[in-house]
Chain A
């Protein structure tokens, strides 16, 4: 798949079909990758596809001018479709190199399972539904449901629906829906008071670095409400109630756009379980409006649309 990607990317640049290639290259740390944005065809040999390509590259599309060839996993391709729905990008301005994605490995889960730092691991090899990890000459095997990101376990569309070139055979979703919902289910069993205390505890850590917003392809406002000063919606001092306001409004803004790619949670430097928010909004939207983000590029964005009869139960 990787070789094919490099071939296709090179051909696209040579034929002048794209100005940029946006993909992944090996990161500076072990088992990491970093986005690669290039105009140079000699760079394409650095492109990689492996179980560590975490980033959602749709985020770069709104900033790149010209024709862009973009590498997209299932969730990323839905983010791209969502941007097309919002007229933020045009379908004809890009070549989507689709990757059927069986899931991305969560290194912090691996660290927890093996009790070792990622630097101490020699190799992580994925085969079938097992992942073999070697460290200090010792091999240990884990089921992929133990090491994949929560959002990958709940993935509905691992194979991109919208693509120009599909770089592999379509793949099926991982059967891990219940594991992916575990945190959210636990929250839903709590009383409102307990949930409130849970979020107070979590959101008190927020330093408002806005990494969750910056990394999110669905958060594309030119000027975010948090930076407005007249009126000032949020006080600059990170009180936790303002942090809550920020997260609530951010989630309302990305409702119907969020594809549960999990980037916000990965970007969070203080480990707030942000996906427990975004996934819940994803499910609310799906339950009330039967809407899933990024499925159909012709569909109207969720909040610009309505049905005559819907969601009346809470209105007096």
Chain B
């Protein structure tokens, strides 16, 4: 995504439909501004996210992936976000060891009432990705 001559990172967001997706909705309806760099995929639960999805997104040209779910203890399915947390933890650590910048793998807990937090997370992640530069897994 280029606007003028300035390089813009592409961010893919996997948002849990019960919390973070509703949080993103709230950010919109309450007119919070956040960068348009994010593309959102709604998933039933952050526990649905297979690390394979993250790798595939990076291979397809996204510069970063954000997985966002409910706060610990608030999962609609009780335990999905705990499982997601384990997977994300090892994925991030391991990719860092392979030489993939840790900023590309992002995770957040955003509840349905945290529209403002969602906007802040996307702004912050986009800024970090801009500093990190284009993703090298994409060729």
- Closest chain A residue, CB of each to CB of B121: A316
Interface string of A278-316 (1 = CB under 8 A from B): 001100110011000000000000111011111110111
Interface flag for A193 (CB, 8 Å): yes
Interface flag for B73 (CB, 8 Å): yes
Q: Please state if A248 and B98 are interface contacts (CB–CB under 8 Å).
A: yes
Q: Please state if A303 and B94 are interface contacts (CB–CB under 8 Å).
A: no
- Closest chain B residue, CB of each to CB of A188: B97
Q: Which residue from A249, A284, A315 sits with its C-beta under 8 Å from B108?
A: A315
A202 to chain B, nearest CB (A): 10
Bound-complex Cα distance A37 to B72 (A): 49
Interface string of B98-120 (1 = CB under 8 A from A): 11111000111100000000000
Q: Please state if B55 and A311 are interface contacts (CB–CB under 8 Å).
A: no
Question: How many B residues are at the interface, by size bracket?
Answer: 35 or more
- Closest chain B residue, CB of each to CB of A194: B99
Chain B 2-32 interface residues, beta-carbon cutoff 8 Å to A: none
Spot the interface stretch: A18-26, A108-116, A236-244, A260-268: A236-244
Interface flag for B87 (CB, 8 Å): yes
Bound-complex Cα distance A239 to B51 (A): 19
Chain B positions within 8 Å of A306 at CB level: 79, 82-83, 85-86
Bound-complex Cα distance A285 to B89 (A): 9
Q: Which residue from A193, A239, A241, A311 sits with its C-beta under 8 Å from B85?
A: A311
Known: A196-B136, A245-B55, A248-B95. A315 touches B107 (CB 8 A): yes
- Closest chain A residue, CB of each to CB of B91: A252
Chain A positions within 8 Å of B94 at CB level: 248, 251-252, 280-281, 284
Q: Is the interface of A mostly helix, strand, loop or mixed?
A: helix
Q: Please state if B101 and A245 are interface contacts (CB–CB under 8 Å).
A: no
Q: Please state if B99 and A314 are interface contacts (CB–CB under 8 Å).
A: no
- Closest chain A residue, CB of each to CB of B101: A192
Q: Please state if B124 and A303 are interface contacts (CB–CB under 8 Å).
A: no
Chain B positions within 8 Å of A302 at CB level: 86
Q: Which residue from A199, A303, A309 sits with its C-beta under 8 Å from B99?
A: A199
Bound-complex Cα distance A291 to B117 (A): 33
- Closest chain B residue, CB of each to CB of A241: B137
Q: Please state if A241 and B59 are interface contacts (CB–CB under 8 Å).
A: yes
Known: A255-B90, A316-B124. A196 touches B99 (CB 8 A): yes
Interface flag for A210 (CB, 8 Å): no
Bound-complex Cα distance A280 to B125 (A): 27
Chain A 185-204 interface residues, beta-carbon cutoff 8 Å to B: 187-188, 192-199
Q: Please state if B83 and A303 are interface contacts (CB–CB under 8 Å).
A: yes
Q: Which residue from A277, A303, A316 sits with its C-beta under 8 Å from B87?
A: A303
Chain A positions within 8 Å of B127 at CB level: none
Q: Please state if B90 and A239 are interface contacts (CB–CB under 8 Å).
A: no
Chain A positions within 8 Å of B136 at CB level: 196
Known: A239-B139, A308-B72. A225 touches B90 (CB 8 A): no
Known: A239-B139, A245-B59, A308-B72. A315 touches B109 (CB 8 A): yes
Q: Which residues of A contact B (CB under 8 A)?
A: 187-188, 192-199, 225, 231, 233, 239, 241-242, 244-245, 248-249, 251-252, 255, 277, 280-281, 284-285, 288-289, 302-304, 306-312, 314-316
Q: Which residues of B contact A (CB under 8 A)?
A: 51-52, 55-56, 59, 72-73, 79, 82-83, 85-102, 106-109, 121, 124-125, 136-139
